[in-house]
Chain A
Amino acid sequence: MSTVEFRNASRIYDNTRPPAVNRINLSIADGEFLVLVGPSGCGKSTTLRMLAGLEPIDEGSIFIDDVDVSEVPARKRDTAMVFQSYALYPNMTARQNMAFALENAKVPKAEIAQKVENAAKMLELGPLLDVKPGNMSGGQRQRVAMGRAIVRSPKVFCMDEPLSNLDAKLRVATRGQIAALQRSLGVTTVYVTHDQTEAMTMGDRVCVLKDGVIQQVDEPTHLYEHPGNTFVAGFIGSPSITLMDGVSLEEGRAVIGEGHTVDLGIERELATRAKGPRVTVGVRPEAWDIVGSSANPVPDALPLRAGLIEHLGSEAFVYCDAIMTPDSPVTVRGQRVVLRADKRQPITTGETLYARPRFGECYFFDPESETNLEYVA
């Protein structure tokens, strides 16, 4: 039962280059499941390793239960880690792997046996207890690694992409198990992943990192619905949000350009926060309404040419090129507009579509700072 707090914590490998982790401030409540997410190289694993004591804290400090642990060696921090590679001791059976930390701590033998039994029951490891890791499947090793962390009843669980070596189906199943287990144990958990689906489904809160800097920390749905900046908007959600630069504001309404007077319905209050005449607009795939086709053109909608179509069974994602008028100041980032179509809506590649974002489902960002106008004071 522990709280964790990062205060201006930094990790600087090389003074001539930007820090790997840059002045992070983060409070994690007792029993909370916090997910650190970001693209590779964003410093999420380094942050976790700093908490576990495997990386030094070059500046700032980290508190566990209001005690500064910045200079405390890893073995005295009472954190348990589940590694991406599982890192089981190959010469020991599952039982010995799980008991090892307790033996080191000189816990009485009967108590160790009891704790290992309990953890094994929780993780359904019974028949594997006397098997060595070499003879286990990936999923089984993963469970032993979890067991090794659980038996210690640590203050904090640190999990470094524990599911990324599992196959897709097992990953989904284990995802649910880990989240449920964490809730029943109530141990404060910091979980690193690059998979935004894991981040969205598992965490109480999600912390998005980029280049060692925290972009936003929030509950998953809030993060999705109110992204702090274009990076968060682009990172969270699959397929990615469509970002359009250079959308002009006229009379409090965002207008895509000459000839495309698509009303995006910006709120008056937000429009007043924009510093310039133009904003960056983000539209999620599910926020588009397909309102017309080449046979049935609609004037106040965005014309699109359908490219790749991904049929997922229940729905389909259509990757389109936007057909802008030559004088339009609007550019689409990545040159792609992604929209979700109902499976009952037949769309063929090369077809022209007319689509319009739903009112109130667009995000507006300051083009300079890329911050969501909702957060601009």
Chain B
Amino acid sequence: MAQQTDVPPQTDPAPAPEKAEIPRRKHRDPNEAGLGVKILGYVALLIVVAMVMVPLYFILITSLKTHPDIYSDPITWWPNPFAPGNYSYAVSQVNFVGFLRNSVIITGGLTVFKVALGVISAYAFAYLRFPGRGLLFLLVIAALMVPDQITIISNYALVAGWGWRNTFQGIMLPLAGTAFGTFLMRNHFLSLPREILEAARLDGTGFGRTLFRVVLPMSWPTIVAFTLITIVTEWNQYLWPFLIADTDRVAPLPVGLTQLQQNEGLTNWGPVMAATVLTAIPILIVFLLLQKQMIKGLTAGAVKG
């Protein structure tokens, strides 16, 4: 119990400074030796940032350039003159508001559906014991490996056969499956502290109530991340909506952008880029709103850790 009281007090001050020095020296080592490495690291960082940022920058400046300015040789890095008119042109030339509305409907609907489906199926995979669970989960993982393009022909035949071309359900239904969400959420659920779920069991919490009152409140960061990924994916969905939507009635923004591009023989990149910037803005806003939720850890204080 109290064996440590044996330590004589005078031994304390002598070894203390030595002990303090050793870790300090160790601590300094990687910094000193790594000066060259550090510079290299920063250079690599700059290259990567440039690779991401330069195209984005070009989209932005091109959206503000006049037509001759865009095709000028050598390329210019700053619009001269400024042509904000590209934006009003893009919005007025095609049914931008209509496409935006369609995009919001498709993305919103699909996100709600996919998150709900992902959470519910993952909850079953994580906590329900049923025959064939392992095999079924293997199928879900297998579905992750299949590229969407492979299923397009059969999906098209099916959806067209139902007469669902140019409808929202025709666009949304084939996209609504979510192997990724099931996989992500299941693994997250399994990482939750087992004792809390046992406590909930002993407290007489029903299966559904456990999900909503115990499991989900501990899962917000993962759900938010999953939601964000889903929103981005569905917002950028191009091939399937392009195939199924022949008219402006249900086509989302990415499909609308191509209309702008093909408007007059020669592509006028200014309005196309302006529309691209406008298309990206809603997603940027969503990102800014949700990122804080994603970082926040919610299991803090659940178990001693």
Contact = CB atoms under 8 A, between A and B. Distances in A.
Contact of A85 (B1, B193, B217, B298): B193
B301 A135 contact: yes
A88 B301 contact: yes
Interface string B1-13: 1110110000000
A41 to B, nearest CB: 18
B2 A75 contact: no
A87 B209 contact: no
A39 interface: no
Nearest to A313: B5
Contact of B300 (A90, A100, A309, A310): A90
Interface in B123-148: none
B198 interface: yes
Nearest to B2: A312
Contacts of B206: 104
Contacts of A100: 203, 205, 213
A74 B202 contact: yes
Nearest to A158: B202
B286 interface: no
Given A87-B195, A165-B304, A52 B202 contact: yes
Contacts of B209: 104
Interface in A290-312: 309-312
B198 A91 contact: no
Interface string A188-202: 000000000100000
Contact of B201 (A54, A91, A134, A148): A54
B204 A311 contact: no
Given A87-B303, A91-B217, A101 B203 contact: yes
Interface string A164-183: 01001000000000000000
Band of interface residues on A: 35 or more
B2 A86 contact: no
Nearest to A138: B304
A90 B4 CA distance: 36
Interface in A129-143: 132-136, 138, 141
Contacts of B225: none
B218 interface: yes
B112 interface: no
B196 A87 contact: yes
A183 B218 CA distance: 36
A105 B218 CA distance: 23
Interface in A110-160: 132-136, 138, 141, 148, 152
B247 to A, nearest CB: 47
A104 B304 contact: no
Interface string B211-241: 0011001100000000000000000000000
Interface residues of B, number: 29
Interface in B172-223: 193, 195-196, 198-206, 209, 213-214, 217-218
A141 B199 CA distance: 14
Nearest to A152: B203
B301 A312 contact: no
B205 A86 contact: no
A238 interface: yes
Contacts of B45: none
B218 A104 contact: no
A141 B205 contact: no
A91 B5 contact: no
Most buried by A among B199, B214, B300, B301: B199
A54 B198 contact: yes
Contacts of A101: 202-205
A100 B199 CA distance: 11
A90 B198 contact: no
Contacts of A74: 198, 201-202
A104 B209 CA distance: 9
Contacts of B213: 89, 100
A132 B213 CA distance: 15
Nearest to B305: A85
B263 interface: no
A75 B301 contact: no
Interface stretch (A11-19, A76-84, A366-374): A76-84
Nearest first, the 3 A-B pairs at minimum CB distance are: A134-B301, A91-B217, A87-B195
11 contacts: A52-B202, A75-B202, A75-B203, A81-B199, A87-B195, A87-B303, A89-B200, A101-B204, A104-B209, A133-B301, A148-B203
Given A88-B199, A90-B301, 15 more contacts: A80-B202, A81-B202, A83-B195, A83-B303, A84-B195, A87-B196, A87-B198, A87-B199, A104-B203, A104-B206, A135-B301, A148-B199, A310-B3, A310-B6, A312-B5
